[in-house]
Structure 1
């Protein structure tokens, strides 16, 4: 599982100019089952996405396709973790240490 932290690198006006395209991109990844949760940080200086993928390389490919990245208005920090405990709704994403 991955925590994707977005940090805006441009003024909010530039972020907002690409927001609709970013939302369509998010929707597509939710439909594919890659994204589990997402939202703005408070204060509004970026966002956070909870994601699942086969490996970090796939996540790097996904984040590179974000319209925010392509427009140069955000940077990603990717943290991979092993979800050994989850809420019941996320039980299918639990992993074991091996």
Structure 2
């Protein structure tokens, strides 16, 4: 389960600020370990932390190790939910699993046509392929390249799309709009978050 943690400040702002560095070090440690996906202040005071897919015992351990919790600076409200949809690039598994990320880079002389053709192939996959978790299509600032950044449950289910004539036909159309295209599959090796 993903957990949304709502932090409410129990101490004045100067005490919160005095222990901000310790809290940020805690956030960074757990973000780098893949346990925390998002964190930040709330407009109305307090803060929000969104965890990766963690069991309740791990979430309890996470909360109990936060300096703000240990020092009585903030209380936590925990809202668990089952994440069924995520934007490509958001990896919710805290520990490495069989999932893969596809990065397909295509050079092109007509980025809009290449994006349109690639979008047709990806929409077909979205409607038919088991294990597809989503895709993000990017165009280079210079307009000479298109990137497909897609998440898959595992390599086997990704490779199965090439057995689908409907996908192959659409992918061949996409390839004709490019001057070259190459894809690779990747797994997460390490996560490094901003140090601020």
| TM-score, structure 2 as length reference | 0.45
Asked whether the equivalents of residues 35 and 54 of structure 2 are also in contact (C-alpha less than 8 Å), the reply is no
Runs of 4+ off more than 2 Å: none
Q: 2: CA distance between counterparts of 1:54 and 1:34?
A: 7
Give distance in 1, aligned partners of 2:3 and 2:54: 10
TM norm structure 1: 0.87
Deviation at 1:85, TM superposition (A): 1.2
CA contact (8 A) 2:6 2:78 kept: yes
Distance 2:41 2:19 in 1: 15
Q: More displaced, 72-81 or 47-56?
A: 47-56
Where relative contact order (Cα < 8 A, 6+ residues apart) is larger, the structure is 1
Work out the CA distance in 2 between the residues paired with 1:15 and 1:53: 28
CA offsets per residue over residues 15-55 of structure 1, 9 Å max, x none? 11110100011110011000111100002x21001102431
Partner of 2:76: 76
Q: Which residue of 2 aligns with 1:61?
A: 61
- The DSSP-based 3-state class of the residue aligned with 1:88 is coil
Which protein shows a greater Rg? 2
Q: CA RMSD in A?
A: 1.3
Secondary structure of the corresponding residue to residue 89 of structure 2: helix
Q: CA deviation at 1:81?
A: 0.5
Structure 1: where are the runs of 5+ without partners?
none
Contact in 2 for aligned 1:18/1:71 (Cα 8 Å): no
Deviations 1:32-91 (A, max 9, x none): 000111100002x2100110243111101110110001111100011110011111222x
- The 2-side partners of 1:85 and 1:73 are apart by 33
Cα pair 2:7 2:47 within 8 Å, conserved: yes
